[in-house]
A and B are shown apart, each in its own frame.
Chain A
Amino acid sequence: MTNYEETMELVSLNDNSRKKYYWKNHLFYIFIYLMAAITILVLVAIIGYILINGIGHINWEFLTSEPRSMGREGGIFSIIIGTLYLTVVAIAVSAPIGVLAAVYFAEYAKESKWVKTIRFGTEVLAGIPSIIFGLFGFTFFVIFLGFRWSILSGGLTLSMMILPTLIRATEEALKTVPQSYREGSLSLGATKWQTIIKVILPSCLSGILTGLILGIGRAVGETAAVMLTAGSALGLPESLMDPARTMSVHLYILASEGLSKEKTFATASLLIILVLLINTIASKVVQRFINKAKA
């Protein structure tokens, strides 16, 4: 390696065009290094700025007391609970539907026009702006079905948003299960359904979990669709039919109405920590999944 560089240097001293080539190479290296550095810097700057401004205001009282005077004072306890409820409803609805739909696509459906159309539909669904889901949820769940602004309306809307990601992730996970597992199970006299439940799904559980965790991330981060369907009430929700405010919505209102800079950044910090936590868990799970596949 050093030998090569020394030679290059000698050559470059003698040969003008080689020298040029050498410098071009170096320039390019510096250029891509800069680009990478900028990316990281932006990320660090955003997270750092929020955390520096917010983390000092997160304390026990902030986490456990309810907001007072529109959120200027007090904490975000009811909002944490609202976020939790909404996410649980969204996952509880989308997980069974998503996993079973993926099982249908991966294990039962033959490659027909019909299946291709549905699959295309799911992919389009994943790319639709969330406000469209919000609008649909508002007109369908909130008004037409009369669920009003509630955790139920919000959860159902979020579950529709999560579904495409979840179906996709589960389908990909199912595809990684070797055909030999299916053959082994069927050859022992298992039915197709037993094979799926007892061998195939357990062996790709981590892949499905990853899809779920990404879905949770999307649910936690969503603002517009949630405001339109779950409302933005500050009180502690007591049933599925109560409206609720999630952390993202709270953050949006605090910031747009200029209620309290401290509380805004504290909420933002908590949200970042939550999202980072979810992503860390997701990548850990993925890693385990990969290791298992290698074994």
Chain B
Amino acid sequence: MNAKIKIENLNLYYGSFQALTDVNMNIYEKKITALIGPSGCGKSTFLRTLNRMNDLIDSVRIKGNVLLDYKDIYAKDYDIIKLRKKVGMVFQKPNPFPKSIYENIVYGPRIHGINDKQKLDEIVERTLKEVALWDEVKDRLKKPAMGLSGGQQQRLCIARCLAVEPEIILMDEPTSALDPVATLRIESLLEELVRKYTIVIVTHNMQQAGRVSDYTSFFLSGRVIETDETDIIFSNPDNKKTEDYITGRFG
């Protein structure tokens, strides 16, 4: 199996606090990998090391390797712009820009140098169809994105992410701010997207991890306790702590 991202001995510190300890993991191509664990276990921090969003925080230090297509993304000459184009991100709270639906989607492509109107129109239609939002918004593309419902906004954010043609999509609890119906729509969307993209999703919701993911990693206190195929993690985990967490004995 092809490991799209290979994480080797990753350690991360916020100042003197160690948030991640010796994380080793493979993220497989065109699969959904779920990261589960109690609050503060480091799963979101870990997700953010994969597109170097932690660079925004000054006190963060990182040791170890994160190899994307066999290249270390923390190497000095690695282009962070190209990295983020390749590794898209969807956030916990839908965060469309205060612009129109259309402008939200073409923002990324324009930044990367696409200015041809026809091409941009194509991107908008393609990505909105990919997230099953096209039929709902095709008549109001020029209207503010803030006017959409929470679930629609989150799908728009996914479309915005797809518009720069990433290979990997990182999702940080993408449904935790949404109602159950909107959550289900996003989940069924994930099943479509995984045919083309590699997905890493942080979730608090264990049923969600069980429903959508191919692989699951269980984080606890900054360490990866166990990583395996989701079916195995949920039916027959190796580690007692994993079993306790999954059966709801803590967390």
Chain A contacts to B: CB under 8 angstroms: 110, 178, 180-191, 194, 198-199, 202-203, 292, 295
A194 to B91, CA, bound (A): 20
| Cα of A190 to Cα of B85 in the assembled complex, Å | 9
Contacts of A198 in B (CB 8 A): 107, 111
Query: For chain B residues 145-188, which have a beta carbon within 8 Å of chain A?
Result: 146-147, 157, 160-161, 164
Residues of chain B with a CB closer than 8 A to A186's CB = 53, 56, 84
Contact B91 A184 (CB under 8 A): yes
Pick the contact of B51: A178, A187, A191, A292 (CB < 8 A). Answer: A187
Q: A188-B161, A188-B164, A189-B111 are in contact. Are A181 and B81 (CB under 8 A)?
A: no
Residue numbers in A under 8 Å from B161 (CB-CB): 187-188
Max chain A CB contacts within 10 Å: which of B81, B95, B147, B164?
Answer: B95
| Residue in A110, A180, A189, A292 whose beta carbon sits within 8 Å of that of B84 in the complex | A189
Q: Which of B41-70 contact A (CB under 8 A)?
A: 51, 53, 56, 58
A188 lies within 8 A of B111 (CB): yes
Q: Looking at the assembled complex, report how far the CB atom of B34 sits from the nearest CB atom of chain A, in whole angstroms.
A: 20
Q: Are B144 and A187 in contact (CB under 8 A)?
A: no
| Chain A residue nearest to B157 in the complex (CB) | A184
6 A-B pairs closest in CB distance: A180-B95, A189-B85, A187-B89, A188-B108, A189-B84, A184-B95
Chain B contacts to A: CB under 8 angstroms: 51, 53, 56, 58, 81-85, 88-89, 91, 93, 95-99, 107-108, 111-112, 144, 146-147, 157, 160-161, 164
- Asked whether, in the complex, the Cβ of B98 is within 8 Å of the Cβ of A184, the reply is no
B91 partner residues in chain A, CB cutoff 8 A = 180, 183-184, 187
B135 CB to nearest chain A CB (Å): 24
Which A residues lie within 8 Å of B112 (CB)?
189
Bound complex: CA of A190 vs CA of B91, how far in Å?
16
Contact: A194 with B111, CB < 8 Å?
Answer: yes
Residue of A nearest to B163 (CB): A188
In the bound complex, residues from chain B placing their C-beta under 8 Å from that of A190 are: 81, 107-108, 111
With A186-B56, A187-B53, A188-B88 known as contacts, the answer to whether A295 contacts B157 (CB < 8 A) is no
Cα-based distance from A93 to B90 in the complex (angstroms): 41
Which A residues lie within 8 Å of B56 (CB)?
Answer: 182-183, 186
- State in angstroms the CA–CA spacing of A182 and B95 once bound together: 10
In this complex, what residue of B is CB-closest to A295? Answer: B146
A190 to B51, CA, bound (A): 13
Nearest CB to that of A188 among chain B residues? Answer: B108
**Which of A184, A189, A194, A295 has a CB less than 8 Å from the CB of B97?**
A184
- In the complex, chain A residues whose CB is within 8 Å of the CB of B96: 184
CB-contact partner of A183 in B83, B95, B98, B107, under 8 A: B95
The answer to whether B97 and A178 have CB atoms under 8 Å apart is no
Q: Is the pair A199, B97 in contact by a Cβ cutoff of 8 Å?
A: yes
Name the CB-closest residue of B to A184. B95
Residue among A110, A198, A292 with the most chain B CB within 10 A? A198
A188 proximity list for chain B (CB < 8 A) = 84-85, 88, 107-108, 111, 160-161, 164
Known contacts A186-B84, A198-B107, A203-B98: A180-B89 contact under CB 8 Å: no
Distance to closest chain A CB from B111 (angstroms): 5
Shortest beta-carbon distance from B197 to chain A in Å: 15
Q: Show 16 A/B contacts (Cβ-Cβ < 8 Å), sorted by A.
A: A110-B58, A178-B95, A181-B98, A183-B91, A184-B157, A184-B160, A186-B84, A188-B85, A188-B88, A189-B81, A190-B111, A194-B111, A198-B111, A199-B97, A295-B146, A295-B147
CB neighbours of B160 from chain A (8 A): 184, 188
- Given known pairs A188-B160, A188-B164, A194-B111, the reply for A183 and B88 (CB within 8 Å) is no
Within the assembled complex, what's the spacing in Å between the Cα atoms of A185 and B108?
Answer: 8
B90 to A, closest residue via Cβ: A187
Decide if A187 touches B97 in the complex (CB within 8 Å). no
Docked-complex contact B98 and A292, CB < 8 angstroms = yes
CA–CA, A190 and B56, complex, Å: 13
| Chain B residues whose CB sits within 8 angstroms of the CB of A295 once the complex forms | 98, 144, 146-147
Further 4 A-B residue pairs, CB within 8 A, beyond A178-B95, A187-B51, A295-B146: A183-B89, A184-B157, A185-B107, A198-B111
Expressed in whole angstroms, the Cα–Cα distance for A178 and B93 within the complex equals: 11
A187 to nearest B CB, angstroms? 4
CB distance from B175 to the nearest CB of A (A): 16
B contact residues around A187 at 8 Å (CB):
51, 53, 84, 88-89, 91, 161
Please determine whether A191 and B81 come into contact, CB atoms closer than 8 angstroms.
yes
Contacts of B95 in A (CB 8 A): 178, 180-181, 183-184
* B51 to A, closest residue via Cβ: A187
A184 surroundings in chain B (CB, below 8 A): 91, 95-97, 157, 160
Docked pose: A181 CA to B97 CA in angstroms: 6
Give Cα A292–Cα B97 distance, bound, in whole angstroms: 12
The residue in A178, A185, A190 that gathers the most chain B C-beta atoms within 10 A of its C-beta is A190
Q: Closest CB-CB distance, B72 to chain A, in whole Å?
A: 19
Please report the C-alpha to C-alpha distance between residue A295 and residue B153 in the assembled complex, in whole angstroms.
13
Q: How far is the CB of A106 from the nearest CB of chain B, in Å?
A: 15
Measured between beta carbons, the chain B residues less than 8 angstroms from A194 are 111
